Structure 1
Amino acid sequence: MTDTYLPDDRHTGAEPVRPGPLGRLARLSFRRRGMVLLAWLLGLGLAIGLSAGFGDENVNGASLPGSDSEQAQTLLNERFPAQAGDRVDVVVRADDVAGSQVRDRIEALLRQMDGMPHVAEVEDPYVTRTAVSPDGRTLVARVYLDVTNPNDMPVEDTGKLLAATDEAEGEGLEIALTGRAVQLAEAPQGSSTEMLGLLAAAVVLLITFGSLVAAGLPLVLAVGGLLVSSSLVGLVAAVVDVPDFAPLIGAMLGIAVGIDYALLMVTRFREWRAVGLDQEMATVATLDTAGRAVLVAGGTVLVSMGGLFAMGLSIMNGTAVVTMVAILVVMLAALTLFPALLGYLGGSIDRLRLPLGRRRVVRVSADGHVVPAVGWVRWSRLVQRHSALASAGAIALLVVLAVPFLGVQFAMPDAGNAPEDTSNRQGYDMLAEGFGPGTSGPLLVVADLGRAEGEMALKRLHAELQAAAGVAAVSPPVVNAAGDTALITVVPTTGPQDSATVDLVHSVRDTVIPAAVEDTGTQAHVGGRTATTIDVNSSIVDRLPYLIGGVVITSVLLLLVAFRSVVIAVTAAVMNLLSVAAAYGVLAFFLEGGWAGQLIGIDSPAPMAGYVPVIMFALLFGLSMDYEVFLISRMSETWVRTRDNGQAILTGLAGTGRVITAAATIMFLVFAAMIALDDVTIKSFGVGMAAAILVDATIVRMLLVPAVMRLLGRSNWWLPRPLERWVPNLHVEGRPDAYLSARDAETSTPAPAPAPVGS
């Protein structure tokens, strides 16, 4: 295609429109669309091949570098390798677990398990003093695995343990297995969460566009990005620790964001076609306007997720990398794959229409600009007319929603939060009933005995632990073969999630151990899953303010550069914080159980894992900025042209209201699909993200933002004079008028009448 020319008042003739870098990339992708599609297919194949050859597995759980629990785990790995691996507890209940008939059956079961794959050692419960409950009706046998990461335990091998248990049950004998490996084995395999999200998105897109072709483009973009980014997870896991929940979060985020970005660009492409641009020039103009918004929006998500690196935890680093890879792949697809697809399908974008009600049109004014939909114009005028009331009401509602977060309990959900019909939950309940709630979360005190005084220190440590408040039972010390390390198991009187257990861990570390080993050369550390979880949660909660501060400041600077306005950048940050706080409150309310929790499968109060609000903040702040960029970029486009703040608000809200509503609906449904999973942590992410998207796209973007901007007036666009020379002008809104003028110069015809292209 030849250059399109823009009339120039300085001389006779015309100057060619010179698209920005994104427009030039769009033109190249459009013209070389076959090569672009081939490159994406080759990239997918390469990603799959590299992950298969060099990828690694995800990890389960976390440790805090330099913490007391990590030092305990290091000693266990080095000097108690059999006890250092993951563990499955075999819990038995009968009228008399020590009776000869029951004993014969249990010993036969344990011998059978001892010969199964990945079983390193099976503890004999009949020689372990603390293995039988005081009433003689419950027994627990520890089965130690040769894997430290439960994800390394093949599901089929855990299934063999469960099958053997089922065979041994009956005739007055109840047996259940509990442990992280059991939880993973009982989780639904081959989750269809991503498919549910895509199906929900397809329905919304069909309703929005009414055309199979227009609705299919965002889905193709999202699926393409999902396939590539999911294939790269194994490579990421080979470099950093990737927690087992990160790939699902990355996949759902990639689907939601990919569809959102494509939805914005499909809408803009159809508008450009409606005002008279041909297929290629409409593609170039779309990337040169909406593509810039996508680039800034994606950048804010990357900045937000990058804040997770500040937490100092390997699993946070892994989560950040997985989600950032998903966003980068989606952004690359939006800027290259999308214009290539328009090269094939752009001319047929409104074909294969479905009978979904009255056909909507994109209306074009006499000067060639798209006329906003009447309904959104009325809403915008209503909000501006009552801006003070709308602002106060929206802020009050957000504060009310955030209140439940003040009473949140931070702890790691465990088997006690699993579904009641699982062996994992049944074993947990049987342990709590027979031995007390602390049995499911024992503390492992590992002592490096050091000098000759070590034996005396060990006796004193054992006695001090028995006398400590909050301790239900203490096992006799187990000394390794070398005689230089001892292991003591401490059972708290309270459960792993109880705040009293946290106090006990701190008391043992700060008081009991120092008093027992003073001047003996012995060092002791408190480890085990419960202590590790306490350390990780404490560290995360302590560092959360630094994450919030860093992400907010960086995002404000990014928006300042994008829109050259201090007020817009600061108010956007404040509103996003309100949105995130409201989402935290909604999640905390559901985790309390009760009628709300039962609606989503939480039948008893559940704690909030410390990393859930951290990852939620990074995700939500970035996604909230997405909608902010979509909205403000259209407002800025009108402001640059008219210098009328009221008109800018009206045009921006009316021009993006339908896009943001459709995008938010899709994102809401995508994340809501996670609520169907049994894992409480994944369910928490689903509830929190779905609530946040709903709150942000309705209360914040469609009500609070335009109302506050109306109150602030022209000061919305204020940039201090000293900053004008230092802040670059990115022209996020692009140069839409240049393309309209170029069209008129090329065709020498007036703007077309309203065209029925659907909107």
Structure 2
Amino acid sequence: MLGRRWAVLTVVVGAMLLGGLWGSGVLDRLSQGGDIDPSSEAALVDELLAEHFGIRSPDIIAIYRAPDGKTVDDIGPAVSARLAEVDRGLLAEPIEDYWSATGPIRSLLRSGDESTALAVVFVAGSESERIASFTELEPQLTVPGVSTELSGFSAIADEVNKESKRDLVVAEMVSLPVTLLVLVLVFGGLVGAAIPVAIGALSMLGALAALRLLSMFLEVSVFSVNIASLLGLGMAIDYGLFIVSRYREELAAGAGTDEAVTATMASAGRTVAFSAVLLLCAFAGTLVFPQQMLKSLGFGAMAAVALAAVLSLTALPALLAILGPRIDALTWRRGAFERGEARAQRFWGALATAVMRRPVVIAVTIVTVLLLLTLPLLGTRFGDVDHTALPPGNETRTTVEQLTAQFPIASSGATVVIRGEDGAPPDDAAVTEVIGAVGATDGVQQAITVGTADGMVAVRAVLDDPDRSVAAVDTVRRLDEIEAPAGTELLLGGITALSVDSVNSVLHYLPVMIAVMVIATLVLMFFAFGSIVLPIKAVLMAALSLGATFGILTWIFYDGHLTGLLNVTPGPLISGMVVLIIAMVFGLSTDYEVFLISRMVEARRAGATTEEAVRIGAAKTGRVVTAAATLLILVTGAFTLSDLSVMRFIGVGMIVALIIDATVVRMLLVPALVKLMGEANWWAPASMVRLRERVNVH
């Protein structure tokens, strides 16, 4: 490859640029949904209501307010005339509004003081098409001279999409120059610093192309673009940092350009490839979930990591071969990198030596503190994304909250479908009993029969609290406990029930995901290092980091500490984002473990004792691991600049996890434990050693 360095670089860069141009189209194909389990009971109820009763949740709810001193009847002619002009091609069915409605529903579409009335809009097309149609329908539903506000799924989704796009631009504008500045300080020069950033920028472009391709086969979450783009940037910068650092180390040792590139890729390049495989296995765990959102987040993250690794193993060595010693061009202080590296090696080596003098005290202290930090997690609850993902004071969020308070009928509430066990219609006594039980449930305002069709009866429970709120979730759980009368079956649906079923589904599949990650890590690390002890220790270290991270996140986002500073509303941890953080933190934790242990193993193979190997490993990797974690904190920490609480949750989670893992765990706890276990670190059963030899892993 070195002989075709220009060709390799040209092809790879050209492919990423073209891919990024094509991939930018994914921004118009994003989904706000995909967070439900399609096999859940609530999803089945949604299908039954749509197919047999013709009932589904509205996409847009238009709220019209009369001027002071007037009523909704006074603004009726203007609103009706405007609604008559709405493009019918965008609608799935005619608009239902107060002025054209008849029967009991009419009074439900008007406020008690007659100052406000509603129009309910059902939009045609797939989910992404319905969201896209909102921008066309918004001006058509707005009545000149009449206060108009829009709420509903499409309005919230459109606002979240806009916020997400703004967040990505802000994050890129902040993270790229800041990471470049940090790398200049690390390398002491502009050229060496610019290389990882350039690879990171190419990874971001490639991630867009991967997501555009993915959108052709499944729904791509609105959060996927931000996560995949910034994860690709962060991992490419990290990988570039490791490879460029090793390359400069080889040059400083007297190697020629080609020799230095070859040696670098045989050592740091191999470690990067292995690290990427570990991260891919971690994100592959997200594919076990039935929710399309989690699958798209997982695929997007996998594509980002794979691209970061491929670019680091192709374009980066080609660029290093082209630059040669000129990688030190535009150095602001000659020898700064080498002097900084020497100081760092002395510091980290001395720290490891100090840790190994008191391994028991340090290990027990750190483990105890991390376990104490985990304790808040025991009292947490999990939830789903709703309008509170938008910041307090956001116009769309405020409209949703006012609508729910003024028009309880506007919330989805919960729906109980009653059907006979043998396909026969339920008898009247059973239906009456169920309606009474639903209406008597704590948290239910009233129970309304909304339809009878094909031997089934649908009963709507109007809830006291907003959809998906903690109180509404508790009410839905109580409704789920209602016993079905003899000969009948009860099915529970509605937005809150969908949320409850989705969270239950995530918790059900979470152990499977963890098992996939753990087994893959144990197997891969054993074949890499020939020890069964080191992989087990790596998994336990990742578990400690995760526990402490989620304990702190619970303390902040659920218990409500610091939420004023972050401008978010306290509430349950979003289950989908919890899954994503588990995959990211577990993967990065084992990633940093690999970089540290790889240097220890190199030292062992060169004849060092366990203590010497620990000191050498810490000395050689301390600076680069800390720098890598710092850079990743800067990149993923850009999520905290988002106005969306779910993105801030990820940003804070990654900052906390990286600080804990890359410093406390990796540079203090790991050396202490390796010292305590001594030669046992390198142990594996004889049968496994023979298996590894047969596979010919070196």
Q: TM-score, normalised by structure 2?
A: 0.89
1:667-706: CA deviation from partner (whole Å, max 9, x where unpaired)? 1111111111122222211221221111111111111111
Number of equivalent positions: 685
1:357-383 deviation line (CA, Å, top 9, x unaligned): 98242699xxxxx99732222222222
The secondary structure found in structure 1 opposite 2:221 is coil
Partner in structure 2 of residue 666 of structure 1: 631
Equivalent residue number for residue 492 of structure 2: 526
Query: Which ranges of structure 2 fall in alignment gaps of 5 or more residues?
Result: none
Match for residue 556 of structure 1 among 522, 543, 548: 522
Q: Which among 657, 660, 669 is matched to residue 704 of structure 1?
A: 669
Residues of 2 paired with 1:382 and 1:108: CA distance? 80
Per the alignment, residue 643 of structure 1 pairs with: 608
Q: What amino acid maps onto 1:211 in structure 2?
A: G
Q: What's 2:537 paired with? A: 571
Letter in 2 for 1:697: A
How far apart, in 1, do the equivalents of 2:94 and 2:461 lie?
20
Among 602, 626, 648, the alignment partner of 1:683 is: 648
Which residue of 72, 75, 92 corresponds with 2:45?
72
When residues 93 and 540 of structure 1 are mapped into structure 2, their CA distance, relative to the original with a 3 A threshold, is farther
Partner of 1:713: 678
Cα separation, partners in 2 of 1:710 and 1:452, compared to 1, 3 Å: closer
CA displacement 1:230-252 (0-9 Å, x = unmatched): 11212112223322212221112
Counterpart for residue 472 of structure 1 = 445
Query: Aligned to 1:309, what secondary structure does the other structure show?
Result: helix
Partner of 2:370: 398
Deviation at 1:131, TM superposition (A): 2.8
**CA deviation map 1:73-101 (0-9, x unaligned):** 22344356673563435375887885533
The match for 1:32 is 4
Farther-moved stretch of structure 1 (627-636 vs 374-383): 374-383
Q: Secondary structure at the match of 1:177?
A: strand
CA shift at 1:653, angstroms?
Answer: 0.6
Aligned counterpart in structure 2 of residue 386 of structure 1, from 352, 358, 365: 358
Worse overlay, 187-196 or 692-701: 187-196
- The residue identity in structure 2 corresponding to 1:547 is M
Match of 2:121 in 1: 143
Describe the shift of the 1:511–1:640 C-alpha distance in structure 2 as closer, same or farther (beyond 3 A): same
* 1:726 matched residue in structure 2: 691
Pick closer, same or farther for the CA change 1:575–1:448 going to 2, 3 Å: same
For 2:437 and 2:635, locate their aligned partners in 1 and report how far apart those are by CA, in whole Å: 53
Letter in 2 for 1:589: W
Please say if residues 90 and 142 of structure 1, whose CA atoms lie closer than 8 Å, have aligned partners that are also in contact.
no
Q: Give the Å deviation of 1:282.
A: 0.2
Native 8 Å contact 1:57 1:237 kept in 2:
yes
Tell me, yes or no, if the aligned pair for 1:671 and 1:689 is still in contact at 8 Å: yes
Deviation by residue 1:177-223 (Cα, 9 ceiling, x = unmatched): 22332233333344312342222221211111121110111111111
Task: Report what 1:176 is aligned to.
Answer: 149
Please report how far the alpha carbon of residue 713 of structure 1 lies from its aligned counterpart in structure 2 after TM superposition.
1.9
Counterpart of 1:281 in structure 2 is 259
- Higher relative CO (Cα under 8 Å, sequence separation at least 6) belongs to 1
Determine if contact 1:561/1:729 at 8 Å carries over to the other structure. Answer: no
Q: Which residue of 2 aligns with 1:631?
A: 596
Q: Does 1:606 align with 2:571?
A: yes
- DSSP 3-state at the match of 2:122: strand
CA 1:622/1:595 → structure 2, altered by over 3 Å: closer, same or farther?
Answer: closer
Tell me if 1:490 matches 2:464. no
State the superposition RMSD in angstroms.
3.4
| CA 713–412 in structure 1, closer or farther in 2 if over 3 Å, else same | same
> 2-side partners of 1:315 and 1:309: how far apart?
10
Q: Residue 642 of structure 1 aligns to a residue in which SS?
A: coil
Q: Give secondary structure in 2 for the equivalent of 1:612.
A: helix
Q: Which residue of 2 aligns with 1:442?
A: 413
Structure 2 residue 239 is the aligned partner of structure 1 residue 261: yes
Q: Secondary structure of 2:97's partner?
A: coil
Structure 2 residue 181 is the aligned partner of structure 1 residue 203: yes
In the superposition, relative to structure 1, how do residues 95 and 218 fare at CA in structure 2: closer, same or farther (>3 Å)?
same
Aligned partners of 1:100 and 1:383: how far apart in 2?
A: 78
**Inter-CA distance 155–115: structure 2 relative to 1 (3 Å threshold):** closer
Letter in structure 1 aligned against 2:387: A
Find the partner of 2:307 among 329, 345, 367: 329
In structure 2, C-alpha distance between the alignment counterparts of 1:166 and 1:651, rounded to whole Å: 73
Alpha-carbon distance in structure 1 between the residues aligned to 2:136 and 2:19: 30
Relative to structure 1, the CA distance from residue 135 to residue 106 in structure 2 (aligned partners, 3 Å threshold; closer, same or farther) is same
Q: CA deviation at 1:615?
A: 1.5
Which residue of the partner structure matches residue 399 of structure 2?
427
5 Å matches for 1:731-746?
Answer: none
Match runs of 1:311-350 below 5 Å: 311-350=289-328
Deviation string 1:697-746 (CA, Å, 9 cap, x unpaired) is 111111111121122222222223332211249999x8xxxxxxxxxxxx
SS in 2 for 1:511: coil
Structure having the higher helix fraction is: 2
Residues of 2 paired with 1:50 and 1:425: CA distance?
Answer: 33
Secondary structure, aligned partner of 1:477: strand
Shift of 1:418: 2.4
What are the Cα deviations for residues 537-590 of structure 1, in whole angstroms up to 9, with x where unaligned? Answer: 111012222322331222122111111112211111101100011111122122
Which is greater in Rg?
Answer: 1
Q: Which residue of 1 aligns with 2:502?
A: 536
Range with greater deviation from structure 2 (693-702 or 136-145): 136-145
Q: Which residue of 2 aligns with 1:194?
A: 172
Mean alpha-carbon deviation: is it higher for 704-713 or for 458-467? 458-467
SS in 2 for 1:153: helix
Aligned to 1:5: none
Structure 2: distance between partners of 1:338 and 1:493: 59
For 1:678, what is the secondary structure of its paired residue? coil
Which structure 1 residue ranges, 5 or more long, are not aligned? 1-27, 170-174, 365-369, 735-759
Given that 1:58 and 1:151 are in contact with CA atoms closer than 8 Å, whether structure 2 keeps it comes out as no
Q: 1:57 aligns with which of 14, 23, 29?
A: 29
Corresponding letter in the other structure for 1:551: M
Alpha-carbon displacement from aligned partner over 1:415-457 (angstroms, at most 9, x marks no partner): 2452233222212221343346x95442244567997846947
Q: 2:557 aligns with which of 577, 591, 595?
A: 591
User: 1:647 corresponds to which letter in structure 2?
Assistant: E
Q: d(CA) in 1 for partners of 2:64 and 2:556?
A: 31
Q: Is the 8 A contact 1:443 1:489 kept in 2?
A: yes
**Aligned residues of 1:82 and 1:121 also touching (Cα < 8 A):** no
Instruction: Say if 1:53 and 1:134 are closer, same or farther in 2 by CA, change over 3 A.
Output: closer
Distance 2:140 2:382 in 1: 31
Shift of 1:596: 0.9
Per-residue deviation at 1:165? 6.3
Residues 425, 52 of structure 1: alpha-carbon distance in 2 compared, 3 angstrom cutoff: closer
How much does 1:276 deviate? 0.7
Cα distance in 1 between the residues matched to 2:612 and 2:114: 79
Distance in 2 separating the partners of 1:489 and 1:93: 29
Offset from partner CA, 1:373-411 (integer Å, 9 cap, x none)? 322222222222232222122212212322222222211
In structure 1, how many angstroms separate the alpha carbons of the residues matched to 2:564 and 2:209?
Answer: 36
**TM-score normalised according to structure 1 size:** 0.82
Residue 497 of structure 1 contacts residue 607 of structure 1 at CA under 8 Å; is this kept in 2?
no
Shift of residue 260, structure 1, vs aligned partner: 0.6
Aligned residue type for 2:535: A
Q: What is the CA-CA distance between 1:280 and the residue it aligns to?
A: 0.6
SS of aligned partner of 2:446? strand
Which secondary structure does the structure 2 equivalent of 1:472 belong to?
strand
Please report how far the alpha carbon of residue 49 of structure 1 lies from its aligned counterpart in structure 2 after TM superposition. 8.3
